[in-house]
Amino acid sequence: MKDDRFLILTGMSGSGKTAVSHFLEDLGYYCVDNLPAKLIPSLVDLWLREEVEIRKVALVVDIREPGFVSDFPAAMEEIKKRMSPKIIFLDASDETLLKRFSETRRPHPLTKKKSVIEGIRMERRRLAPIKKMADEVFDTSSTNVSQLKELLTRRLVKGRTPTMQVVVVSFGYKYGIPLDADLIFDTRFLPNPFYVDSLREKTGKSRAVRSYVLRSPESREFKSRLFPFIDYLLPHFIAEGKSYLTIAIGCTGGKHRSVVIAEELKAYLQKRSYDIKVYHRDIFK
């Protein structure tokens, strides 16, 4: 059986190997780009002897290495005496690859004295024997990144859904909006504990402030609309392959209302088994 813990990713230049390697990193693979084929058996030996603390490996190898076409088959024959890595080949039509090189303005590895289309055709001929060795071939001509990630998840990692870490940040608008926020929600319309003498110096972590904020009709209505909305959004972000999402909750000073709502959102999402962390940026300012 092929070992899904050790993947070898190869294929045509411009077919999407870099995007796939980034996604595999999100799935827990240790990715090595452009490793010389002659070094693959040595890495396999270290990995099998557990001399490197790496559970899953993904190697990106391709035509950029001058000796790749001749060295790779020999390396695979040597490796197969000890284990069976899964070889993934990414392909795309000549027209698609030509368009991608034109859009990115990057040179093709084989175009020192040739046009891009000549380089693509030469690479295709040279990689034909490598493609025949592959366990999985993906044509990315009409596949966007999201669709490709879905295919990889279903076929290469046994259908497991990639996880996404959610970070909820409370903040004060007077100190600026968090630069890394993906979603921003404003709580400045909720009752403000700042104007209650006994609550002004407390924070949204205190029971008294929490009770004051949450007992208002506005807060109950806000939660009843916001939390299901976020619950709806998260699976779609995961499906797009996003591995990290920051939700920012703001109030005037970042000490009371935003802290309360952020803590409430954390509790809500934890019950739905999301990997969630909360950071109160301005609570002590």
pLDDT recorded at residue 1 = 58
Record the pTM. 0.61
For residue 42 the two structure tokens come to 């040595």
Distances, alpha carbon 90 to alpha carbons 60, 80, 87, in Å: 11, 22, 10
What digits encode the pLDDT tens for the residues 129-148?
999 999 989 898 887 777 77
pLDDT recorded at residue 159 = 46
Q: Which of 85, 68, 247 is nearest to 170 (CA)?
A: 247
Rg (CA), the chain: 25
The residues of the chain that CATH labels 3.40.50.300 are 3-156
pLDDT recorded at residue 160 = 53
DSSP codes, 169-208? EEEEGGG---TT-SEEEE-TTS--GGGSTTTTTS-TTSHH
Q: Which of the residues in the chain have pLDDT under 50?
A: 159
Phi, psi of 143, deg, nearest 5: -115, 125
pLDDT recorded at residue 250 = 97
pLDDT recorded at residue 50 = 84
* Alpha helical stretches, state H, 16-159: 17-26, 40-48, 68-79, 94-104, 116-133, 145-156
Q: How many CA atoms lie within 13 A of 132 on its CB side?
A: 6
CA-to-CA distance for 56 and 198, rounded, in angstroms? 55
Which CATH class name applies to 3-156? alpha beta
